[in-house]
Amino acid sequence: MTTKTLQVSPLPDPKLPDPIVIAIDGPAASGKGTLAKHLAKELSFAHMDTGALYRLIALKILEHNIRPHQEDDIVRIAETVKEHFSVSDLDNPKIRTDDVGSTASKIAGIPKLRQLLLDLQRDFSTGHYNPEAQGVVMDGRDIGTVICPSATIKFFVTADVNTRARRRFDELSAKGISVNFDDVLADMTARDERDSNRAQAPMKPADDAVIIDTTILSAENVIKTAMFHIAPHLKNMA
């Protein structure tokens, strides 16, 4: 008698729900980073400051005496950074200087560099680096328009350029760094111009973004405004 072997198909792996993605865009010193960090902590979400990626590359090229116009060398450095990337790299305090920030703004429009970092940022948004988190908060200049156009909720945080320059001036002064307000304002205005008018992924609000102007809002009210819009999306979280 022939015995038939029962063929049992393996059960499919259960699909984990897609993480909630909160996209926060806006210019320098608008308060987007402060908001992003608070939301990530409050909601126990993963957080990435995508601008810090470009600052990380900028720090490396400054250390190697590479100029912003040396695109091939910059991409080569970026490839090495991406290969060995860890989220903890973005906590390096050296990337937070004004020189690094200005350089990051100058190189951010390089097409090959943007493409190189695009996959890394999208992997983060899907929970690749933090699979245990039920959501991610990402802040930068083009999260809602390019990196995560299908984000769950999008914010564009902005403020008057003079207000933002004053914030940066006060921040640097508090650290004991001697700066001139007019120089800070000129640098910030130039960065806004570069970020808003570059050919690759210019800084602009997504069509469906919630605009939050922090010029006269307190940090508490900015957070309350954001949570009001986020709350409906949290109902389905386990």
Is residue 5 in a domain?
no
Q: What is the pLDDT of residue 5?
A: 43
Where b means 16+ CB within 10 Å and e means fewer, 110-146 reads beebbebbeebbeebbebebbeebbbbbbbbbbbbbb
C-alpha to C-alpha distance for 142 and 195, rounded to whole angstroms: 10
- Is 233 among the domain residues? no
In one-letter notation, the amino acid at residue 12 is: P
Per-residue pLDDT at 17: 59
Count of domains in the chain? 1
How much is the pLDDT for 132?
87
Token pair belonging to 192? 């806004």
Helix%, strand%, coil% for the chain, nearest 5: 55, 10, 35
Look at strands 153-158 and 46-49 and give their pairing. unpaired
For 122, the domain range is 20-228
88 found inside a domain? yes
Residue 119 lies in a domain: yes
- Cβ neighbours for 15, distance < 8 A, ≥ 6 positions apart: none
| Residue 169 is assigned to a structural domain of this protein | yes
Extended beta strands in the chain, E state: 20-25, 46-49, 135-140, 153-158, 210-213
Q: Does a structural domain hold residue 12?
A: no
Q: What is the pLDDT along the chain (238 residues), one digit of tens a residue?
A: 444 443 444 444 444 457 899 999 999 999 999 999 999 999 999 999 999 999 999 999 999 999 999 999 999 999 999 999 888 999 999 998 888 988 998 998 899 999 999 989 999 999 888 888 899 999 999 999 999 999 999 999 999 999 999 999 999 899 898 899 999 999 999 999 999 998 888 999 999 999 999 999 999 999 999 999 999 999 866 5
Find the helix packing angle between 111-125 and 50-63, rounded to 10°. Answer: 140
pLDDT recorded at residue 190: 93
CA distance 165 to 125: 30
Cβ(61)–Cβ(107) under 8 Å?
yes
Res 189: pLDDT? 96
Q: Is 115 contained in some domain?
A: yes
* Total count of residues recorded for the chain: 238
- Domain of residue 42, CATH code: 3.40.50.300
- Residue 7 placed within a domain: no
pTM value surpassing 0.75: yes
